A and B are shown apart, each in its own frame.
Chain A
Amino acid sequence: MTDFRAEHRAIDWASGEIGARIRRRNRAQLRLRLVGMAAIGFAFAMLATLVGSLLWTGTRAFRQTHVAIEVHYDAGILNPDNLQRGNYRAILGATMQALFPDLPDSALRKATAILSNGAQFMVRDRIVADPALLGQRISLRVPVSDPYDQLHKGLIDRETPEEFRRLKDDEIALWDRLEAAGAVSAPLNWGLITNADSRFPELAGLRGALMGSFWALLTCFVLSFPIGIGAAIYLEEFAPKNRTSDFIEVNINNLAAVPSVVFGLLGLAVFLNWLGLPRSAPFVGGMVLALMTLPTIIIATRAALKAVPPSIREAALGLGASRQQVVFHHVLPLAMPGILTGTIIGLAQALGETAPLLLIGMNAFVTAAPGSPFDPSTALPTQIFIWADSPERGFVSRTSAAILVLLMFLVAMNALAIYLRNRFERKW
């Protein structure tokens, strides 16, 4: 006893040595905080740059330059018995001639090129829907072709020497006359959502890609959600813990890390070559995505099941509930928020996945939105891939716009995951 007391040394907490130690400790802590804040600042700056540049180029695609024209459904050109196959090019030529009466015939072709290639079909569709229009004049607003859209948005520099410029001086002069006449407008580009893909950027839209992604994700969810939860429940609640279940667990974790292109190859080999399923179909895309999403859902579900306190299981077992009743009455409802969060995050990953879809041909050029999961189609990420690869200037801003749409869906899905987690989380 006395020995301990002798060894007890009085510490002078006010001494300079200890003060210096405390200051050093506080400085180290401050440095760590600053480094952490710098890291977060850097990450946010990068994110802001990415989103900012996408917005900068992408917002241009949210408006599309249109020109108002007066169309005369000339009974001399159109055959009332076959309105579907009329010479609508000639009708547009006549329209442009009326707009520019002073132009010689040779320059008229240039004037017609101001209008989108799709204008003739819009003119046709109007009268097919209402044959009474034959012989009448109506005013119509049609999209302009890509170069004039770029010109109107200020993306073609008039100062560039004529030989390097996309539009020559006389074409620009024609455009300026249209603009001076007040025929030009740039309304919101609903075509970006309502049109399917097209060779012409002014007509290209995301409808096919959105529908394709919708069908693929639906297939993916319907397949992976029940299978994933079933597998997780079995592994977590019923499977004996032995070498086999360890082996399965390791392999599921490995599957989650397999590069997506490998799943694409698997889909190509098994679903397309062996089972003979249709190419480019969202259903097959969904099957491949389901394979990728399964490990994510299984791991998230197992974690959620594990997080349910054992006391709840014991309470139910002690009342004479069977294992199955314990799982379905108590454990699963409590684990549901976690399971849903994991599933939505897995689906959000699947939504952005490109490589496996490329391998099963979902990067095809399809100009009609799929009516069923078995029709050929693209998906959002593959549509971005196709557009980014296209040479026309108009696709540059459309690519960014498509990325913005994709990001919007991802943010919405993650927000839903957070909402569900907060809404249904239970305390015990």
Chain B
Amino acid sequence: MNRAAAPVTPAVLATVKIQARGVQVFYGAAHALKDVSIDILDRTVTAFIGPSGCGKSTFLRCLNRMNDTIEIARVEGTILLDGQDIHDSGVDPVQLRARVGMVFQKPNPFPKSIYDNVAYGPRIHGLARNKAELDAVVERSLRRAALWNEVKDRLASPGTGLSGGQQQRLCIARAVATSPEVLLMDEPCSALDPIATAQVEELIDELRSQFSVVIVTHSMQQAARVSQKTAFFHLGHLVEYGDTEQIFTIPRDPRTESYISGKIG
């Protein structure tokens, strides 16, 4: 589309994982996201902050084409993952979602066993050739999600029987089991107590070594704690994007400043 306006150079690609240019989202007649352009870096935690209804979750859902599943949603603009347009006819949205994993606001484990929850992604994508490989993937994923020690003795018990924080970590384990390149997290801690939140935040920091993590959060403290880059959304606009420290200490836009100081939102 407007690839000419967004020249992609190989040098940039080394660090930029996702490049969005002029992204617009409409829900029916409502214009939810207005002309968002952003470069999301590899092996970095990027936080999306902003008041409710500002479009941050909407934009997150553009990155793995989850908005395709909403009938009235319409997405315009270009989103490049590793330089390839994710809306290209050659890209299968199903395949894309295996590369760009997602963790949701409310822990939503399948009503199956803990093992089957984690093994589901590798199974449908054929990532394990045999039982032993699958076992290894499950263990590795649960270890990455810092859940292995708590559940290793009851892998066959239902995932829905875990506590809220454990369920969310199970969902993270499930998402990392398909070895995605990007992990999208939509307010992953909003349903968790402070202890579980701390565990998940610690986890996010560890995940940074392998993935590009994008996290939507309502808590500015959380954004400040876990992210290196922060984007502030307001009324469908990307107002400001920069290093987290800069956004929280010397915001350039007055709207960012009022939000951070608690005047709007």
Query: A-side interface residues toward B, CB under 8 Å?
Result: 240-241, 309, 311-322, 325, 329-330, 334, 426-428
Contacts and interface: CB of A to CB of B under 8 A. Distances in A.
A311 B105 CA distance: 10
A313 B103 CA distance: 13
B71 A315 contact: no
Nearest to B65: A317
Nearest to A313: B69
A40 to B, nearest CB: 36
B174 A317 contact: no
Which 9 residue pairs across A and B have the least CB separation, nearest first? A320-B98, A318-B102, A311-B108, A320-B97, A319-B121, A315-B108, A426-B111, A322-B94, A428-B111
17 contacts: A241-B71, A311-B104, A312-B110, A314-B69, A314-B104, A316-B120, A318-B104, A318-B175, A319-B120, A320-B96, A320-B98, A320-B99, A320-B121, A320-B125, A329-B120, A426-B111, A428-B160
A240 B178 CA distance: 30
Interface residues of B, number: 28
B98 to A, nearest CB: 3
Contacts of A321: 94, 120, 124
B66 A314 contact: yes
Interface of B: 64, 66, 69, 71, 94-99, 101-104, 106, 108-111, 120-121, 124-125, 160, 171, 174-175, 178
A311 B97 contact: no
A427 B102 contact: no
Nearest to A309: B108
Contacts of B120: 316, 319, 321, 329
Find the residue from A240, A241, A320 having the highest chain B CB count within 10 A.
A320
Contacts of A316: 110, 120
A427 B66 contact: no
A314 B57 CA distance: 14
B106 to A, nearest CB: 6
Find the residue from B94, B95, B102, B160 having the highest chain A CB count within 10 A.
B94
Given A240-B71, A325-B124, A428-B160, A318 B110 contact: no
A330 B124 CA distance: 13
B141 to A, nearest CB: 12
Contacts of A334: 111
B218 to A, nearest CB: 19
A316 B117 CA distance: 10
B94 A320 contact: yes
Contacts of B101: 318-319
A317 B108 CA distance: 12
